Structure 1
Amino acid sequence: MTLRADQVRDIPLRARRLCGLAWSGQFLWFSEADQNRIMAVDPFSGTVARRLDCPDVRTDLATRDGALLQVVGVERAVRTIDPDTGEVLGELPNPRPGHKLCGLEVSRHGRWLGYEDLRLIDLRDDDGLLLDSVPVSGAVAGVTVTDKHLVYADYPAGALTVVDLARRREIASYRVAGNPTGLTWDGGRVWYCDYTGCRLRAVTLPELTG
């Protein structure tokens, strides 16, 4: 059964193709494929605090050790970017060449990479070694994680689905406004890019806050 998520925040943006979303502890960083930019937004005021050029933006965005990680290009490589200067610090190839890498998140467990076409979310270490794979029922458009749960966005279904990592199964699915792409977790709420509504939206999910 698909439930309805409680929306608690809504930030309209002057952006058209919202791809990725990440939380830095201060800003919400989102990527936009129409202008090929990554931007930082204050979650309280909605003010854009920083803009970085990033050619070939695709799908999701994450943070690691203060740097930004953005999926880029036709082959969907993962580019590391300095958030202060926009300098490219490195780039790693898509570990599943030819497949649609759409979700990206980094946690203490490693790097989570979600594939739309495979309906699969991989966990890999920094060298790309596969540590685990979690099969899912939906088309992955974005990924975020907490200590116990994984959440992925399903764009065509307009839903966020929660996966219990210990049991390795989906435990709840929530209908949300618009069509979600990039996801992030700020410690209390899940934020997502509403692609069709050109907004960042925050929702509370009971499984993550209970």
Structure 2
Amino acid sequence: MPYSVGTVRDLPVRALKLCGLTWSGDLLWFSEGVLNQIIAVDPATGAVQHRIPCAGIRSDLTTLGGRLIQVAGEERALRVIDPGTGEMIIELPNPRPGEDLSGLEATQHGIWLGFANRRVIELRTIGGMRLVDTVPVRVAPAGVTVSDNYLVYSDYHGATICVVDLETKREVAAYSVAGGPTGLTWDGSRIWYCDHTTLQLRAIAVPGVSG
């Protein structure tokens, strides 16, 4: 039975379809799948700081080395974008062509990719996308983030955020949240999620999952 947890911050945003979410160190970036834009907002005020057009937005979003990476296009490729200019630098193919790449998080150890149809989250090398590790999950992951020794994924249909211990690869907690969580990110103290249902960016504080 998931624990119920309330939000500690709610930011309504102008959007029609919230997809991905990432933290750049001072701003929250979210991707919008109808307007096809990636938008940066101030986490304290919700004020829009940047807008970047990005055709074919599909699911999650992450940052790596100051660049944005967005899942985009029919094949759900990894589109690397310069946040300053909005220009696409390169587009990397989906490492599992034709499969539903739904979650994304880049870390110092590699890039985590969640596949909804396979119910797995994979760790791959940033260069070459070589498979390093696989973590089975209970349900289709709608978004993925990482905090220290924990892998966190969102269950959209179950309105739940799930926490996996990376050492044991076992789910250690599940938190029932408001709305429908999709994209996830970690700001060093809180987990933020896109609430697809009410079109807000929402933060929760999860005991034991700290930066």
TM-score, normalised to structure 1's length? 0.98
CA distance in 2, matches of 1:133, 1:154: 18
Give per-residue Cα distances to partners, 1:129-183, cap 9 Å, x unaligned: 0000000001100000012000001111111000000011000111111000000
**Stretches of structure 2 lacking an aligned partner (at least 5 in a row):** none
What is the match of residue 169 of structure 2? 168
State yes or no: 1:118 paired with 2:105: no
Which runs of structure 2 are paired with 1:41-120 in the superposition (5 Å)?
41-120=41-120
- The CA distance in 2 between the partners of 1:81 and 1:209, in whole Å, is 29
User: Counterpart of 1:188?
Assistant: 189
Match of 1:144 in 2: 145
**Residue 113 of structure 1, CA deviation:** 0.1
Equivalent-residue separation in structure 1 for 2:167 and 2:131 (angstroms) = 18
What is the Cα-based RMSD across aligned positions, in Å? 0.9
Counting matched residue pairs gives 210
Please state whether the residue corresponding to 2:75 is helix, strand or coil. Answer: coil
Residue of structure 1 equivalent to 2:7: 7
- How far the C-alpha of 1:2 sits from its partner, in A, is 0.6
Residue of structure 1 equivalent to 2:134: 133
Structure 1 residues without counterparts, runs of 5 or longer: none
Residue identity in the other structure for 2:105: E
In 2, Cα distance between equivalents of 1:113 and 1:205:
22
Contact 1:58/1:73 (CA < 8 Å) preserved in 2? yes
Cα contact 1:6–1:205 (8 A) shared by 2: no
Paired with 2:36 and 2:86, the residues of 1 have a C-alpha distance of 12
Task: Name the % identity.
Answer: 55
Contact 1:61–1:70 at 8 Å: present in 2 too?
A: yes
